[in-house]
Amino acid sequence: MLKKILSYVKEYKKYALLSPVFVVVEVIMDIIIPYLMSLIIDMGIETKSQTAILKIGGLLIISVLIALGTGILSGYFATKASAGFAKNLRLGIYKKIQSFAFKDIEEFSTGSLMTRMSTDVQNVQMSFQMSTRLAIRSPLMIAFSLFMALRINRGLAFNFLIIFPIIGLGIAFIFFNAYPIFKKLFKIIDKMNTIISENLSGIRVVKNFNKMDHESEKFDETAYDLYLKSKRVSKLMALQNPLMQFCIYIVSLIIAWLGTKYILVGSLKTGQLLSMLTYSFQIQISLMLLSFVLIQIIISANSVTRIYEVLDHETSMSENKDGIKDVKNGEIIFDNVNFSYIDDENKCAIKNINLKIKSGDKLGIIGATGSGKSSLVSLIPRLYDVSSGSVKVGGFDVKDYNLKALRDSVSMVLQKNQLFSGTVKENLKWGDENASDQEIIHAAKIAQAHDFIMEAEDGYDRPVQRGGSNFSGGQRQRLCIARSLLKDPKILILDDSTSALDTQTEANIIKELNKTRPDMTRIIISQRIKSIKDSDYILVMDKGEIIDIGSHEDLIKTSPIYREISETQSEGGDFDEPKKD
């Protein structure tokens, strides 16, 4: 697991290796400095030898400068390596998420994926930075300092050892108690991010339904939960400081007390006592830093697992990269298709579908909400995979195609369409990045979008805000249709994509499509009979099944449901006719 995550260090490996090299030099200098200081006192000051003072003093200055330089360099390389590592890791997760099927994203939830890409990567980055520097510096420092202290005075140095079990036990206590809390903490952060992202993207609905208080309460609950868990974790972490202070005082007392005794009997010099004290501080500071590293590792151990879960997730849609790259025509065959979102054959959104749509056919789909219209068509560009049976496009199973090739040929305007920040032109170019201005204008004209685009001062360069929020619902729908047309698909699926348009605009789009793309298979899902009545044939769906099929005239005669929908819609006039935008 760790190996896989560390493989993302990639080109920053050299910096990750350089940092410890400089750390080693820095530690050696930090060890030599107290030794040189003791020499200055014992050989220079006590014997009043000026040459010794100058010589050792010079060495001391050089050592300090080297320690400083290598310290800065190792810090610099550690930061560079860890920041680069985090960048690669984020990119890796992002790419993995792009390869996910809808189902995988729903499984993780967007909030959780966001936390994994932000907080979790940040934790791992921090641990990595500490590992390339502190995790190497501290043990080295402890080992060298202990070695020097033992050389100076064995009896005194042995007293240092009592702090190791105390600190060891203390850290183990913190570790075992904090780890499970951190695990829960991240789950709460996931939940909070989900609430935030859902809420901000749906802020208009929240305000419209005056649900601000309700939503705030929901948020408050999660925030309070987070507060409780953070408080518990902080309490545990706070134990670390007094523990360290306690050890520092104990050891200083022992050294001062025993040290003066040794000096009095002449087995220790003043300078040596001073360096003993310095080494003891170095050991304790290193222990303290090491415990910081350990705690950071506790925090990020959870993050590593969570990142690994994403990177290791087998996408539920196996992609056939070497699959067929050319979709011959727009023929679609559903052969005994059943489909369930939750892999439960008793809860199928689509049941027993057998259907052949000839290339170039105009097909309408109507049915109550939740009857499975969107689910049915989403199987054609393989947004989801069937649970049983097969869907064939252009004569081959959709699973035999290269996914990109299939989706380029099957263009679907989703019911929940989305524009992205950029300009109108940039958004349209999602359909074909090499499209010329003429092609873009042509597609926009078919989609009845050209006129309103040109009404704006900057025309096709008009900025689009995030999610297309500066366009009306109907304008967004038309831009999405134009974007899909630019793919020049063999099959075009409009999933309730004209619902916000007035009847005339909708009729114009359909007329233009029939005129300019007669060979393209066109599937129109709508709740309005008017939108589909000119189709070659119409499917009437109910509870995941096709219950009736035929032309408008046939269905009026043979399908009670269709007749009922038709009568209700003509009685009330166009009761669901939306306002022109």
Ligand X SMILES: Nc1ncnc2c1ncn2[C@@H]1O[C@H](COP(=O)(O)OP(=O)(O)OP(=O)(O)O)[C@@H](O)[C@H]1O
Residues that bind ligand X in the complex, under the rule CB under 6 A: 106, 341, 349, 367, 369-375, 415, 496
Burial class of residue 542 (count of CB atoms within 10 Å of its CB; 0-12, 13-18, 19+): middle
- Kindly state whether residue 527 participates in binding Mg ion, applying the rule CB under 5 A: no
- From ligand X, Mg ion, none, interface partner of 367 (C-beta below 5 to 8 A by class): ligand X
Query: What is the smallest separation between the CB atom of 496 and ligand X, expressed in angstroms?
Result: 6
Q: Which does 308 bind (CB under 5 to 8 A by kind): Mg ion, ligand X, none?
A: none
Least distance to Mg ion, CB of residue 551, Å: 23
Whichever of 197 and 423 has its CB closer to ligand X, that residue is 197
Binding part of the chain for Mg ion, among 183-191, 353-361, 373-381, 566-574 by CB under 5 A, reads 373-381
Q: What is the enclosing helix (H) or strand (E) of 537? A: strand 537-542
Binding mask 407-436 for Mg ion (x = CB under 5 A): --------x---------------------
How far is Cα of residue 428 from the mean position of the Cα atoms in its chain?
26
Does residue 378 bind Mg ion (CB under 5 A)?
A: no
The nearer residue to ligand X, 259 or 367, going by C-beta atoms, is: 367
Query: Please, what is the minimum distance in Å from the beta carbon of residue 506 to ligand X?
Result: 17
If one asks whether residue 526 binds Mg ion (CB under 5 A), the answer comes out as: no
User: Where are the strands (E) in 28-76, listed by range?
Assistant: none
Closest contact distance (angstroms) between CB of 474 and Mg ion is 18
531 binds Mg ion (CB under 5 A): no
Partner interacting with residue 375 (select from Mg ion, ligand X, none; CB below 5-8 Å by kind):
ligand X
Residue 369 contact among ligand X, Mg ion, none, beta carbon within 5 to 8 Å by kind: ligand X
Choice from 275, 374, 448, 559 touching Mg ion (CB under 5 A) = 374
The amino acid sitting at 151 is R
> Residues with Cβ < 8 Å from 368, sequence gap 6 or more?
541, 542
Q: Closest CB to Mg ion among 139 and 578?
A: 578
Q: Give, as one character, the DSSP assignment of residue 401.
A: B
Helical segments of 239-354, H only? 240-264, 270-311
Where do runs of H (alpha helix) occur along 153-269? 154-157, 163-201, 203-208, 212-238, 240-264
122 vs 352 by CB, closer to ligand X: 352
Phi, psi angle pair for 327, to nearest 5°: -90, 115
Alpha-carbon distance of 345 to 338, in angstroms, equals 8
* Axis crossing angle, helix 270-311 with helix 50-99, rounded to the nearest 10: 10
Cα distances from 43 to residues 49, 53, 55, 384, 576, in angstroms, run 7, 8, 11, 82, 99
Residue 142 or 493: which CB sits closer to Mg ion?
A: 493
Whole-angstrom Cα distance, residue 187 to residue 120?
Answer: 12
Q: Which does 372 bind (CB under 5 to 8 A by kind): ligand X, Mg ion, none?
A: ligand X
* Closest residue by beta carbon to Mg ion: 374
Chain residues in the site for Mg ion (CB under 5 A): 374, 415
